[in-house]
Amino acid sequence: MTEKVVVIYSGGMDSFTVLNRALKNGKEVYALSFDYGQRHVKELECASLVCKKLNISHKVVDISAINQLLGGSSLTASVDENIEIPEGHYEADSMKSTVVPNRNMILISLAVAYAVSVKAAQVYYGAHSGDHAIYPDCRPEFVEKMNDVCQIANYQSVEIFSPYLNVNKTAILTDGISMGLDYSNTWTCYNGREKACGKCGACQERLEAFRDNNVTDPLEYEA
C-alpha cells in the first residue's frame, strides 16, 4: 500500500519541489495550503493550478482570522499595511520584518492534525538552509523539536520531514531540474503584484538559484 503524506504546499518553488519529491518517492500526497492573509496570496493560485494538473488532493485553508494575533510582519498586509516589504538579500537585518510570529509552528500543527485524520505517516515541510539566518522556525533545531513533539502529540505519531533542510535553494532547484520540473507555475515574490519585483529577498534568492544552475527563470520580473 502506498504511504500517505501531507505536504505543506505554499505554491512557492521550494514547496513545489518538495511536493514533486514526495511524488517521486512514491508517496500518496495530500497537499495542504494556507491563506494566512499574506500579501503574496498569488502563490495559492499557483498551488491550486499545480495540484489540478497533477490530479492530487489539495485543501486550501483560510486561517486569516488569526492575523489579529500575528502583528509586526511585512508579509501580513491586512494587519500591518504600513510595513513595506524590504529589498535586498535575506542576510540583511531588514529581512527580519518578514518573519510572521510562530507561523510555521501553527502550520505544522494543523498539518499534523490533518495527517492524523487521513492516517498519513509524515508531514513534508520545505525549510532549507537559506532560511536559517532569518527564520528561527526553519532551523534544524526547530524541526527536530517539532518532530519530537509530533511523535507524542497524538495516538498516531507523525514524522516532520524536511528533505532540503540542510541544503540551499540552489540545490533544491538542481533537484527539481533533475526531475524535469516546470517552475512557471510557482510564485516566490513577497509582493502580491502581477509580476515578481526582483528586488525582495525572496526574489533575489530565487534568481540566484537559477543563475547558479545556468537556467532562465520562467517568471516575468518588473526589474
Instruction: Provide the b/e sequence for 85-94 (b: ≥16 CB within 10 Å).
Output: bbbeebeeee
User: Do residues 9 and 32 lie in contact, with contact meaning Cβ atoms separated by under 8 Å?
Assistant: yes
Q: What is the CATH number of the domain that holds 124?
A: 3.40.50.620
- Per the domain annotation, does 223 fall within a domain? no
- Per the domain annotation, does 60 fall within a domain? yes
pLDDT attached to residue 167: 94
- Per the domain annotation, does 123 fall within a domain? yes
pLDDT attached to residue 61: 95
The CA angle 188-192-196, to the nearest 5 degrees, is 50
- Per the domain annotation, does 120 fall within a domain? yes
pLDDT attached to residue 74: 45
C-alpha cell belonging to residue 26: 512514491
- Per the domain annotation, does 170 fall within a domain? yes
pLDDT attached to residue 138: 82
- Per the domain annotation, does 220 fall within a domain? no
- Per the domain annotation, does 222 fall within a domain? no
Q: What is the mean pLDDT of each run of 10 residues along the chain (223 residues)?
A: 93 96 97 84 92 97 81 50 54 54 87 97 88 74 94 95 94 97 93 86 92 97 84
Q: What is the dihedral of CA 78, 128, 133, 210, to 10 degrees?
A: -90
Nearest to 171 by CA among 215, 209, 219, 124: 209
pLDDT attached to residue 223: 66
The count of structural domains within the chain is: 1
Q: How far apart are CA 159 and CA 120, in angstroms?
A: 9
* H-run or E-run covering 24: helix 13-24
pLDDT attached to residue 136: 83
- Per the domain annotation, does 191 fall within a domain? yes
Range of the domain at 47: 4-212
Nearest to 189 by CA among 98, 97, 128, 114: 98
